[in-house]
Amino acid sequence: MENDVQLSPPVETTTHGVLRRNLPGTRNSDLYGWPDEPYDEMDSTLSVQQHIQQMIRADYKNIDGILEIPPPTEGQDEGVWKYEHIRQLCMELNGLAVKLQAECLPSVCTQMIATKQWIFLCAAHNSPKECPAIDYTRHTLDGAASLLNSVKYFPSRISIREASLQKLSSVCRRVYRIFSHAYYHHRSVYDEYEESTYLCRRFSVFVMKYNLMARDHLIVPIDENEDKNPPNTT
């Protein structure tokens, strides 16, 4: 599993008796070897997560399909859809963070920067301050995980309060900086991971689709025809 992203499916059985769980000792080639399940037949509280992960496994390059909300069912909450996508994106972003550790050393990348116009302060401290890029990456992903798993702000996976949803934009802005640092300072690592996941592409399309980040802040090109020179914004 060295080059694979771990996508943790729900462990419940379906109404058809299919166990959707990778058992101990399962070969790499046999992981997730169960049939797909239509979204309207999923009856778990983690149905949205299950659907998203199922779509990624089917074709991670099909970004529009992955981000398309399935046909509405009674009680469906769009906020849950946004929340579950951000959870999934952060889970996968941990894979890029692991790969960065080999060359994004504190002695080399002493600041969390993207281009010369972008230097980021780490919010994990009592007062925001500069961190080596790899420490910033760890702190940011830990902070995102802590917030997204907070029972105070997200006590339910079925419905989410509007006040809690407002915190998702902040999560997106902070974790996106990991992409931008990797792209401009560790391009080979970024390219390898991006080619196998399309993660930055999916993240960028997602935040634009739901207005979670300003377009000017998305400085990593995700289209071959896109200008490779970063914008002169601060």
User: How many CB atoms sit inside 10 A of residue 79's CB?
Assistant: 15
The reported pLDDT for the residue numbered 11 is: 41
Confidence at 2, pLDDT banded by 50, 70, 90:
very low
Instruction: Note whether 140 and 132 are within 8 A (CB).
Output: no
Give 163-202 pLDDT, tens digit per residue: 898 899 999 999 999 999 999 999 999 999 999 999 999 9
Q: Taking the CA atoms of the chain, what radius of gyration do you get in angstroms?
A: 18
d(CA 114, CA 98): 18
**pTM, whole model, 2 decimals?**
0.80
Please give, one letter per residue, the 3-state secondary structure of the chain.
CCCCCCCCCCCCECCCCCECCCCCCCCHHHCCCCCCCCHHHCCCCCHHHHHHHHHHHHCCCCHHHHHCCCCCCCCCCHHHHHHHHHHHHHHHHHHHHHHHCCCCCCCCCCCEECCCCCEECECCCCCCECCCHHHHHHHHHHHHHHHHCCCCCCCCCCCCCHHHHCCHHHHHHHHHHHHHHHHHHCHHHHHHHHHHHCHHHHHHHHHHHCCCCCHHHCCCCCCCCCCCCCCCCC
pLDDT, tens digit, for every residue of 97-134?
A: 999 999 999 999 999 999 887 789 998 888 888 999 99
If we measure between CA atoms, which residue out of 100, 101, 141, 105 comes closest to residue 124? 141
Domains of the chain: 28-217 (1.20.140.30)
Contact 101, 134 (CB under 8 A): yes
Q: What is the mean pLDDT of residues 73-102?
A: 89
